[in-house]
Chain A
Amino acid sequence: MKPYSTNPNAYRVIKTERDIDKINDHAKNGFLPVCVRIEPLIKCCPRFMLLQDLQTKEFVVIKDNEPLPSIPDFNERYKVVINWREFYPIKFTIPFAAYLAPPDLAIGEQVFLEDVITDHIGMDWDAGVVQRVKSCEAIWNGKEFLVKYRPDLYGAMLMG
């Protein structure tokens, strides 16, 4: 169900850097930073809920992209402070990141992006849970990486 997540064609791996100083360190070493905007796609965002333990007064976060804990006596024990809402799972102060193209990359070469910057829908449960694509194959056209995202493969709907 995740056709490209493990680089099955053993293409060269393109790294992603999300820190300006590190991007520039790679530039000094001959890599070409290819900057791409981070534009959150709301449908790719997991959701969370904030609960407060009525006895201890402590707060607990539950995320729908992680296994849900088994909570006995839920209604008696917890108060919902923030009901299910989306959050963007990547922190950023500046909304871009860069793929690091090696100096000998040939136009038309197929590569493997291990940390895709743009948002693409990965797994889609019918319960409303969506995961973003983390890694994907791409083609270098000399200026940018064309992500080979295929909704028919990634946008698989899981029933449950």
Chain B
Amino acid sequence: MFKNRKDKNTHGYRVIKTARTLAQINEAVGAGYTPIIREITEPDVTFTYYRVVQNKTTREISVDKDAEYGMGWFDPDHEYRTALGSTGYYPKVVELPFAAYLVPPDAQPEEMFYAEDLIEDYIGLYHNRGYFRRLNGCEAKWDGKDLIIQYEKGAKMAIMMG
């Protein structure tokens, strides 16, 4: 099913880990890895939507993450009220907006790897209702100085109809 898809490790390449804290990056430096630093910037498209609903009786809240595309499970007119209407956002899960790919010390120039946790935002799936899913992993080539993500716009971008 995943034959020749670069977003899956179909060729069994060595896996490049991503470090997302300064401590992890420096620990890898001490172990001989080459950290390839990437800044984290907000993408042009929105990957994540949410809506907050509140139970009218218990006052407990719930998050409806699929709010934007109409997959909400609750009935807003009865048991729940909308506390915060649907909106898109970019999660800020790291304090400092950078991370690093950890290239192993024995990496050879032109060697192909699989980066399992992409730092950059690429579109992995496009739904015809207008929302996007982020690509998690992708094949990557080490050129001796930099790690080149082998993302091909459109080639691996699945389109979901529904």
List residues of chain A with CB under 8 Å of any chain B CB.
20, 23-24, 27-28, 31-33, 35, 37, 40, 48, 50, 56-59, 61, 81-82, 85, 87-96, 98
Closest-by-CB residue of B relative to A101 is B59
Which residues from chain B contact A40 at a C-beta distance below 8 Å? 92
Which residues from chain A contact B84 at a C-beta distance below 8 Å? 35, 37, 96
**Contact call B54/A33, Cβ cutoff below 8 A:** yes
List residues of chain B with CB under 8 Å of any chain A CB.
22, 25-26, 29-30, 35, 37, 39, 50, 52, 54, 58-63, 83-84, 87, 89, 91-98
Between A59, A85, A90, the greatest number of chain B beta carbons within 10 A of the residue's beta carbon is seen for A59
Shortest CB-to-CB span from B24 to chain A, Å, is 11
Task: Classify the interface of chain A: helix, strand, loop or mixed.
Answer: mixed
Task: Provide the bound-state CA to CA distance between A115 and B56, in Å.
Answer: 26
**Contact call A59/B60, Cβ cutoff below 8 A:** no
**Pairs across A and B, CB under 8 Å, 24 listed:** A20-B63, A23-B60, A23-B61, A28-B60, A33-B54, A33-B59, A33-B83, A35-B61, A35-B83, A35-B84, A37-B87, A48-B96, A50-B96, A58-B26, A59-B25, A59-B26, A82-B98, A85-B39, A85-B97, A91-B92, A91-B95, A93-B91, A94-B63, A96-B84
Task: Provide the bound-state CA to CA distance between A95 and B52, in Å.
Answer: 10
Which residues from chain B contact A48 at a C-beta distance below 8 Å? 96
Query: A87-B97, A94-B50 in contact; A24/B92 too (CB < 8 A)?
Result: no
Shortest CB-to-CB span from B53 to chain A, Å, is 10
Shortest CB-to-CB span from A57 to chain B, Å, is 5
Which residues from chain B contact A82 at a C-beta distance below 8 Å? 37, 39, 98
Task: Provide the bound-state CA to CA distance between A93 and B39, in Å.
Answer: 19
Task: Provide the bound-state CA to CA distance between A102 and B39, in Å.
Answer: 42
Q: Which of B25, B93, B95 contacts A87 (CB 8 A)?
A: B95
